[in-house]
Amino acid sequence: MSKTTTSITPSISSPKKPITLDDLCFDNRFVRELPGDPETKNFCRQVEGAYYSLVKPAATVKPSLVAYSCDVAGLLDLSDESCKSPQFVRVFSGNELLPKMQPFSMCYGGHQFGNWAGQLGDGRAINLGEVVNQRDERWYLQLKGAGITPYSRNADGLAVLRSSVREFLCSEAMHYLGVPTTRALSLTLTGDTVVRDMFYDGNAKPELGAVVCRVAPSFTRFGNFQLPASRGDIDLLKKLVAYTITTDFSHDFPDQDSLDQGSVDIAEPTKENILQWYNKVSERTLDMVLHWMRVGFVHGVMNTDNMSILGLTIDYGPYGWLEDYDPTWTPNTTDASNRRYRFEHQPQIAHWNLLQLANAILPLVGDEDSDSNEGRKALEATLNQFAENYQTRHLAMQLEKLGLKPLSAKQTLSEQGHSDDAVLVTDLLTLLQSVETDMTLFYRCLAEVDVSSSTVLTSKEYVSLLTDAYYQPDQLTEEYTLQLHQWVERYVIRSESEGVAQTQRKHIMNAVNPLYVLRNYLSQVAIDKAENGDFSGVEELMEVLKNPYIEQEGKKHLAEKRPEWARHRAGCSMLSCSS
């Protein structure tokens, strides 16, 4: 399988010995190595000269477990018994701190919908600490919805069940799709109610409170670097860049001195190190967005404070999957008028966000006294390379979805851009858009079509084979069926050049085109049940979404296009940032 896509779930090696919560090995390097806020009282404020504030989660009335991920528990070496214990519920609802935990919230800024917002920070996220497992992997444990922090601004730092179910399920679903993502260990109810105005229309009501425990190698964002840069605090910026390279990118920079547990000072990276690091961030961001485009995922809030420095999908708010193929669709009600974060615009937004990161670190690599300013030119070259690589790899990804290999790697970008393959892909995407077509199901249906030249079908027969992907049968005009037939004929000729049998072609396509994705209406059905104390919907989705590329017996109802009742229902179409 090419570098562009993958459906292979990373294996989790068994721990040497499953452990209990009390045996977790905490190495709270972020707190130990970087400057912190000297103020220890928990109230909303501007924080300068620091990357975090110490803060404790809020106690809740009667916490209870909704679900947990066995695989994420495995990353932490936790035994199944520990995850089912009362202590697990207390710890990951914020009601108990283990002795070596050092809870804190991060301080960062960011651009929101293209506008600089200044200080933002973890408004409802509290990091419990960093765990190092038996494979020497570092994992942050972070509670979302565990109470107010110094960065909560005018909010309460809490979260509700509906948004927490969506984050818990999507974090794991994306992982099994092969998309770089943060993970989710657990979902707990707090026993409290939280008042929310779901669509900011004056209809606030109490909802069930919940907490998700998110897990990632790092939760550092582009905005962590932007804030000190915006304040002219270059010394603080240098410390985070050095820390990030030596800690979060240690595998990419094996020659860079790593931090040891007793260190106080962090070795300052060279300009070359910083430029190489920025290039790695760009590459990882490109990988992430390509995967989004492959599976039809729309993030919905690609603000710079929601961009992971590791190229992980982070902050699952008003996200969604394309159902009918509409590249202008955004799941975010706040973005409904401008559609800045629409599906087709995600690569350009990633590029724009990388530009903002480049501006933030420019003082560390640029030389304003030099006419050449090699640092600036190097950053610009990386940005230009991102755009060029995206075009090349996007075409390769789209061909892979069709069971085809890209043309010769020796071709130039210009030659590829004007190749028959590029036209074949463009014409298909135009067809998908011309009638209401379910993107996910179309590619699965297409994999079933025998495209060997010996098979002669009429236009109507091709449409019939793809019928499960169409929402509105009356849109299938004679003109459309003729255009589809003509496209399939070109596809048949192109497929024959691969020399691949039909069964192999189907396998190749189904390995990168999922059958099961977390459609908004499926989440909403599970949420409706959960709000009535029935968590079976959450459990069923968790289990099925672990194998999104393989048809599972008795689960056809989770692989169907959006029902008509869900077309405009709240939570099933567009969503707000309310949580």
Q: What is the DSSP letter of 59?
A: P
Q: How far is CA 443 from CA 439, 449, 512, in A?
A: 7, 10, 10
Token pair 């530009």 is found at 355
Distant-in-sequence, close-in-space partners of 104: CB < 8 Å, separation ≥ 6: 30, 31, 36, 52, 53, 54, 55, 126, 127
- Tokens at residue 547, please? 């194998």
- Tokens at residue 394, please? 């996007």
- Tokens at residue 26, please? 């905490």
Annotation says 23 is catalytic: no
3-class state of residue 131 by DSSP: strand
Distance of CA 506 to the CA centre of its chain: 27
| Contact between 194 and 158 (Cβ < 8 Å) | yes
- Tokens at residue 118, please? 């200044």
Distance of CA 171 to the CA centre of its chain: 7
Q: Cα–Cα distance between 194 and 156 in angstroms, integer?
A: 9
Cβ-based burial of 265 (10 A; exposed 0-12, middle 13-18, buried ≥19):
exposed
Q: How far is CA 174 from CA 193, 243, 277, in A?
A: 29, 28, 25
Token pair 């603080």 is found at 236
Question: Three-class SS string for 128-139?
Answer: EEEEECCCCCEE
- Residue 105, beta-bridge partner list: 53
Q: Which of 211, 394, 181 is nearest to 284 (CA)?
A: 181
Q: Which of 519, 579, 138, 550 is nearest to 315 (CA)?
A: 579
The string of DSSP letters for 3-40 reads SS---PPPP-PPPSS-B-GGG--B--HHHHHS---S--
**Amino acid identity at 152:** S
Q: What is the DSSP letter of 576?
A: -
- Tokens at residue 523, please? 């989440």
Q: Cα–Cα distance between 18 and 84 in angstroms, integer?
A: 14
| Contact between 445 and 468 (Cβ < 8 Å) | yes
Catalytic residue among 305, 315, 335, 438: 305
Reading phi first (left if > 0) and then psi (alpha if -120 to 50, else beta), residue 480 is in alpha
Q: Which of 101, 108, 109 is nearest to 143 (CA)?
A: 101
Question: Three-class SS string for 488-505?
Answer: HHHHHHHHHCCCCCHHHH
| Contact between 97 and 56 (Cβ < 8 Å) | yes
Cα angle: 24, vertex 29, 30; to 5 degrees: 120
**Amino acid identity at 482:** L
Q: Cα–Cα distance between 194 and 378 in angstroms, integer?
A: 49
Residues known to be catalytic:
305
